[in-house]
Amino acid sequence: MNIRVIPVTPFAQNCSLIWDPDTMKGALVDPGGDSSKLYDAVTQNGVTIEKVILTHGHLDHVGATTEVASHYNVPVIGPHTGDKFWLDGLPMQSQMFGFPPATPFAPDQWLNDNDTITVGNLTLEVLHCPGHTPGHVALVERTTNTVIVGDILFAGSIGRTDFPQGNHQQLIDSIRSKLLTLPDEMKVYPGHGPTSTIGHERKTNPFVADSKFG
């Protein structure tokens, strides 16, 4: 799987353009805004967009979803239905975060734990990882040892849990049981900030490292 990270919105949210190099079919993961920047990246890389995929329902990750999906005439996949209230509440989120008004929408398909998503000949495995939001998912691509984690896990940190229906212990449990059991060499693409690896976070992340749990 090829991946290009495109920071968007004033929150520098990492939208990921992913594609299968054999078919050049791809997807945009978490198109939070700055749609023209996303279109340029797609064109520059010669990718045919098949779908939009969402890790969770926060505005900086979904703000350009309806525009992008309409532009490419493709379906919206994810997140888990636990984040329906976030998507329904996009106008409120716009006010909360100081973003332009956003219209509520529903995806064409909600995701569940252990679902799979195809992108060209690639297969993404879905891990439901609640805590930052109740419907947050991560996306694992095994052939390139890559996991896209949204706001679950960051390099040296973890997602906030002070938003509605956030749960700190649930987030820790999701990271420890779902993400840190992945191979050490697996590269982690978070929703903000630099990439990392599962092994590095398992050893050094002050919130979830093995040493913290004996």
Per-position DSSP letters for 121-157, written without gaps between them: TEEEEEEE--SSSTT-EEEEETTTTEEEEETSEETTE
- Average pLDDT of span 110-121: 98
- Average pLDDT of span 8-35: 97
Query: Whole-model pTM above 0.85?
Result: yes
Q: What b/e sequence results for 5-29 when a residue is b if at least 16 CB atoms lie within 10 Å of its CB, and e otherwise?
A: bbebbebebbbbbbbbeeeebbbbb
pLDDT at position 114, please?
Answer: 98
pLDDT > 70 in the chain, percent: 100
CATH number at residue 52: 3.60.15.10
> pLDDT tens for residues 4-20?
999 999 999 999 999 99
pLDDT band at residue 136, thresholds of 50, 70 and 90? very high
181: how many CB neighbours lie within 10 A of its CB? 11
Residue in 151, 59, 137 with CA at minimum distance from that of residue 101: 59
pLDDT at position 132, please?
Answer: 98
Query: How many structural domains does the chain have?
Result: 1
pLDDT band at residue 213, thresholds of 50, 70 and 90? confident
pLDDT at position 199, please?
Answer: 98
Residue in 62, 22, 27, 21 with CA at minimum distance from that of residue 41: 27
36, exposed or middle or buried, with CB in 10 Å at 0-12, 13-18, 19+? exposed
148, exposed or middle or buried, with CB in 10 Å at 0-12, 13-18, 19+? buried
**Is pLDDT at 100 greater than 90 in this prediction?**
no
In this structure, the strands spanning 25-29 and 48-53 are parallel
103, exposed or middle or buried, with CB in 10 Å at 0-12, 13-18, 19+? exposed
Give the structural domain span for 202: 2-213
- Average pLDDT of span 62-90: 97
CA distances from 108 to 66, 96, 111 (A): 11, 26, 10
pLDDT at position 101, please?
Answer: 83
Provide the 3-class DSSP secondary structure of residue 91.
helix
pLDDT band at residue 214, thresholds of 50, 70 and 90? confident
- Average pLDDT of span 155-179: 97
- Average pLDDT of span 38-49: 98
- Average pLDDT of span 27-54: 98
pLDDT at position 62, please?
Answer: 97
